[in-house]
Structure 1
Amino acid sequence: MNRPHTRHSRKRTFNPTSIGEMKRFLGLCILQSHVETPNIRKLFTFSDPLYYHPIFNHCMSGRRFEQLLRCLCVYEGNAKGINKVLDFANHMITIFQSLYKPHKQLSLDESMLLFRGRLSFRQYIKSKKAKYGVKFYILTSSDGYILNFKIYQGKTETSIDIDTETSSKSKTEKLVLNLMQPYLYLGHELYMDNYYNSVALSDKLLSCMTHTTGTLRKDRKDNPKDVIRKVLKKGEHVWTRKGKVYVSAWKDKRIVTMITTQHHPRMVTTRNRFGKQITKPKEVEMYNKYMSGIDLSDQMLAYYSTPKKTVRWYKKVFFHIFDMGIWNAYYIFRKHCNEKETMLGFREHIIRYLLGFDNLTCYNIISSRKPTNPRTSNNSGMTLPNSNQGSSQEGASSQLLNTHWPEPIPKTENCKRNKAFLKCRLCAKNKIKKETSYRCKGCTSKPPLCPGCFEQWHCQAENID
């Protein structure tokens, strides 16, 4: 409010919002992910039949929606950087963990949220579909329920140690222990890729009654050299034991190095996705079976993604976490209430609840909108009134048109001209600099209009008020 605004800026007057309006706002944000449009204002059009969706204008105006979206924030005071979303993220994590207790197998991996704007901790991962953006470290169940996550904050981020014993550990080990903190000493099995795994981390997690299985990088510290340097032929499998940790190597198309504290390395017979019998190590089979939790959650979030293009990264992160909450809610609903419910149907139920339109029909929405010019209703995407609807509607429409006539713009006290001039509303909309001395007599906003623009302005249904 302290910034300078133009004379007709919508930021000069902001009406206080309410819980009901914010529910409608969030409902429209979720619905927006189901409808593809070039920009937000296309969703609120009355005149363009290509993008006409009456539910949006029935809930709120396009300007009000943009106002709420512009002022949206989930932080207190003058927070900067990651603190703009940190409190909201921690609150959502607490809800996730309180609503569901996972099974034995857990998976940990990173996920990317697409963002190409300026950001100090923006990451690039070549193997991800969204190569640029905000990186999330996510802990999920083996079938995709999101249990815990952490947003990457850059090289200068500070990790909170669980106890004094972790103060000398690497950042990767601290990250895994922090994400696993609510699930230590419960007998879980954790599956990770080679970015996280090491012999020291497996020892530490095993002392916390948590087993690990996953791929291993050859250059990790404390790796057994007799297995790492072994030259293998195709199908050959070797392993060794270091303390309570097994490290194995197996060559298929290339050499795969594995680490596990749960499964004794041995060759087993299994079937691939085509039903063909193949032989592979036990630890590889279990890793392929339980490591897909993050991929499944990313797949479900990508179907209907609420985040839209914006220069403010924290809003995109907010809506991404909001989508995580919807996916977790759908996961629990499908698991305990209705196995046949689809993700789209579940999101539609949420939208109807937030908008408060459980029993609303298309006829109620269209009939409740403001009347339009019947001569241009075909161009505005609205249905022309039937002849059997009576002459009362025709009389109302003609009466509406008869009230819209040009009148001279009244002069102000200090005006030295013979007439008062203002910028034509339609010319300004078309980016043309032109002034006029006439305005509409019937419109409540009294828009200044050129005589040549008068008919074209009122042929647009959204401009009649």
Structure 2
Amino acid sequence: MSNPRKRAIRMRDGNTGLEQLLAEDSFDESDFSEIDDSDNFSDSALEDDKVRPLSHLESDGKSPASTDPGRSLKWSTRAMIPRQRYDFTGTPGRKVDVSDITDPLQYFELFFTEELVSKITRETNAQAALLASKPPGPKGFSRMDKWKDTDNDELKVFFAVMLLQGIVQKPELEMFWSTRPLLDTPYLRQIMTGERFLLLFRCLHFVNNSSISAGQSKAQISLQKIKPVFDFLVNKFSTVYTPNRNIAVDESLMLFKGPLAIKQYIPTKRVRFGLKLYVLCESQSGYVWNALVHTGPGMNLKDSADGLKSSRIVLTLVNDLLGQGYCVFLDNFNISPMLFRELHQNRTDAVGTARLNRKQIPNDLKKRIAKGTTVARFCGELMALKWCDTKEVTMLSTFHSDTVIEVNNRNGKKTKKPRVIVDYNENMGAVDSADQMLTSYPSERKRHKVWYKKFFHHLLHITVLNSYILFKKDNPEYTMSHINFRLTLIERLLEKHHKPGQQHLRGRPCSDDVTPLRLSGRHFPKSIPPTSGKQNPTGRCKICCSQYDKDGKKIRKETRYFCAECDVPLCVVPCFEIYHTQKNY
């Protein structure tokens, strides 16, 4: 995922200028701790009367002049109409009631509703039944023989464990249930056994395979595996909350290097290979309001005046916000003058960096200019501005003028920048900021073989991030960090949905102050009963397989015996005695 300030255009000192777009800045979560809901552009570095406030750009209530988006653009050296913004008529804020604004779980359940969890439960049980119906492997043993149908409560505990794995990180899933002192996580075994977690993870499913319609592209068919969940959550993101005036559209990439028809490559992102999403975020907070998955030519997009796919993507994402005076910030991939004109005719302002090879860009701007200078051209509501510092940058805007303002750079020195660039830097990094927040708690496995399960992890984390943003907006005086919000949410999920004794617990102790069943009662070794596929089946000895050989490799040993009371395969000597007499073997 890219750095949230990668696209920011900054001055290095009072004499030098524009940093490269690939500049690497560290992202500090404290930058995200206070969310400003104001709609006005501002710069804390502005001081004297030389700096013109943005109020001179505000609309007088009338619609700015515009012309036909299909005509060829004629650019001039001065603005022919007033540079002004549309009045903002949107109603930002949360649209769904929360009974207790101090409870993180209630915010999470605004998106992850009982309806969604019930659907996942139903499809997971159906997938488990399908897997259990298949013949056992060559050893005649199948883990699906131990499957018991799950329910909503257990799945929510399962999701809580997934979130916890993003905080307590280990390279392999099995290590979360390891009893080695260096890896031991006793509380996790108290919540759910490793075997049950892996079974749930294997059977986790989101759609009936028979309902996946044919006749589509390979990419579209791939997306059907997770599309119902994706559509449900994105719809919730946009109905639960309405964003403030300034919004940003950008690309986001979920890491995935396995075979996948919709896999993309973006060299400018920190994660270069994977599933590409087009995301609309609120600029000030990073709230994910809308998203599209890139699936190639078969995407269902709105039409645009210029016919460019990038323009159609932007219009599709902002469609429900048009006509309300929003301002959308875009990177150069999504920009064309015709798109800006079309947005403006729909009472929506736009700002962004532009590529000089785009159609309708003024030819004057394609010439090199001296360092520290600006060149601006105007056409109706459009302004194209080129600024040269260490590199040349071209901007488009529907309401800015070519005003240059004085700001403080990172070293505290005064420097001058075009106002349009200052505003762009303040509002464009929302998608990258959200990505950075998500990568801090990665529960997805890097070598995950099933892409749609990894994508579900990603959607789960976006849901938590949106929940946290709404929580912060409703509790501005409550200084809860993102990680503490996640921990509290996990605790609330377990408190509400974990039912001790109903989670198929067995084996190692749950906690130090509880005597496990295996250390009390009557236990006798018995032969593992035959299955339909094997007359003399075996199982992995619980004790032997928890040990490591002299080379550090995990021991694997099969046995024909098990404890019928504990339902655990064990060697008769000495493992049976060790298992039932030692608390920590």
User: What TM-score range do you get, normalising by the shorter chain?
Assistant: 0.7 to 0.9
Cα distance in 1 between the residues matched to 2:276 and 2:375 = 35
SS in 2 for 1:11: helix
1:194 and 1:27 mapped to 2: Cα distance? Answer: 39
Q: Which among 321, 335, 339 is matched to residue 473 of structure 2?
A: 335
Q: Which residue of 2 aligns with 1:267?
A: 404
Match for residue 438 of structure 2? Answer: 301
Highest relative contact order (Cα 8 Å, sep 6+), 1 or 2? 2
Equivalent residue number for residue 483 of structure 2? 344
Q: Say whether residues 1:94 and 2:226 are aligned partners.
A: no
Q: What residue is the counterpart of 1:26 in the other structure?
A: 159
Identity of aligned residues (%): 28
2:342 matched residue in structure 1: 204
Distance 2:225 2:253 in 1: 19
Whether 2:277 is the aligned partner of 1:146: answer no
Shift of 1:227: 2.2
Q: Secondary structure in 1 aligned to 2:209?
A: coil
In structure 2, the residue matched to 1:50 is: 182
- Given residue 155 of structure 2, which amino acid in structure 1 is its aligned partner? M
Instruction: Mark the CA change 1:421 to 1:431 in structure 2 (over 3 Å): closer, same or farther.
Output: farther
Q: Does 1:10 align with 2:147?
A: no
Q: Would the aligned equivalents of 1:103 and 1:141 in 2 still touch at CA under 8 Å?
A: yes
In structure 1, how many angstroms separate the alpha carbons of the residues matched to 2:269 and 2:528?
Answer: 63
User: What amino acid is the match of 2:292?
Assistant: K
Displacement, 1:3?
Answer: 2.2
CA distance in 1, matches of 2:392, 2:173: 50
Counterparts of 1:41 and 1:245, CA distance in 2: 58
Mark the runs of 5 or more structure 2 residues left unpaired by the alignment: 1-129, 213-220, 546-553
- CA deviation digits over 1:154-205, x for unaligned, max 9? 3x3323326xxx3861111110000011111110111111111111111100
Task: State the AA in 2 paired with 1:306.
Answer: S
Structure 2 residue aligned with 1:187: 325
The farther-off stretch of 15-24 and 173-182 is: 15-24
Contact residue 163 and residue 490 of structure 2 kept, 8 A = yes
Using the TM superposition, give the Cα deviation of residue 23 of structure 1 relative to its aligned residue in structure 2, in angstroms.
Answer: 1.3
Deviations 1:389-443 (A, max 9, x none): xxxx8xx99876xx66778x6999xxxxxxx98757439947667777xx46786
Q: Check 1:444–1:288 CA distance in 2 against 1; reply closer, same or farther (3 A cut).
A: closer
Give the conservation status (yes or no) of the 8 Å contact 2:157–2:497.
Answer: no
- Give the structure 2 partner of residue 324 of structure 1: 462
What is residue 220 of structure 1 aligned with on the other side? Answer: 358
Contact 1:424 1:450 (C-alpha < 8 Å) held by counterparts: no
One-letter code of the match for 1:139? L
The answer to whether the 8 A contact 2:381-2:399 is kept is no
- Aligned with 2:381 (options 228, 237, 244): 244
**1:289 maps to 2:289:** no
Distance across 2 between alignment mates of 1:274 and 1:410: 72
1:354 maps to 2:493? yes
Give the secondary structure class of the aligned counterpart of 1:180.
helix
Structure 1 residues 358 and 289: alpha-carbon distance in aligned structure 2, compared to 1, 3 A threshold? same
CA distance in 1, matches of 2:142, 2:377: 72
Q: Write out per-residue CA displacement over residues 328-350 of structure 1, whole angstroms, 9 at most, x where no aligned residue.
A: 11001111125401111111121
State how far apart, in whole Å, the 2-side matches of 1:13 and 1:243 are.
70
**Alignment partner of 1:35 out of 165, 168, 182:** 168
RMSD of aligned alpha carbons = 3.5
> What's 1:375 paired with?
none
1: CA distance, partners of 2:271 / 2:425 = 23
Mark the structure with the bigger radius of gyration.
1
Report deviation, 1:109: 0.8
8 Å contact kept, 1:74–1:84: yes
Calculate the TM-score normalised by the size of structure 1.
0.81
Question: Which TM-score applies when normalising by structure 2?
Answer: 0.65
Aligned equivalent of 2:11: none
Q: CA deviation at 1:52?
A: 2.2
Alignment partner, residue 413 of structure 2: 276
Equivalent residue letter for 2:471: F
CA contact 2:507–2:568 (8 Å) conserved in 1: no
Distance 2:154 2:164 in 1: 15
The C-alpha deviation readout for 1:244-290, integer Å capped at 9, x for no partner, is: 21111111011111111121112221122322111111111111111
Structure 1 residue aligned with 2:24: none
Residue in structure 2 matching 1:130, options 246, 263, 271: 271
1:212: how far off? Answer: 0.9
Cα 1:384–1:141 change in 2 (3 A) is: closer
Tell me whether 263-272 or 77-86 shows the greater mean CA deviation: 77-86
1: distance between equivalents of 2:450 and 2:401? 49
Does the CA-based 8 Å contact 1:189-1:262 persist in structure 2?
no
Kindly provide the amino acid, as one letter, of the partner of residue 233 in structure 2. Answer: M
**8 Å contact from structure 2 (residues 306, 338) kept in 1:** no
Residue 311 of structure 1 corresponds to which residue in structure 2? 449
The Cα shift of 1:133 comes to 1.0
Q: Distance in 2 between matches of 1:271 and 1:330?
A: 31
2:154–2:497 Cα contact (<8 Å) kept: no
Matches within 5 A, 1:161-176: 161=302, 166=304, 169-176=307-314
SS of structure 2 residue aligned to 1:88: helix
Among 295, 301, 313, the residue aligned to 1:160:
301
Name the CA distance, whole Å, in 2 between partners of 1:76 and 1:405: 43
Rounded Cα–Cα distance in structure 1 between residues aligned with 2:401 and 2:420 = 8
* C-alpha distance in 1 between matches for 2:156 and 2:443: 15
CA distance in 1, matches of 2:569, 2:261: 46
Listed as ranges, the gaps of 5+ residues in structure 1 are 373-379, 386-392, 413-419
Query: Contact (CA 8 Å) 1:421, 1:435: kept in 2 or not?
Result: no
Q: Is the 8 A contact 1:48 1:381 kept in 2?
A: no
Alpha-carbon distance between aligned partners in 1 of 2:361 and 2:519, rounded to the nearest angstrom: 86
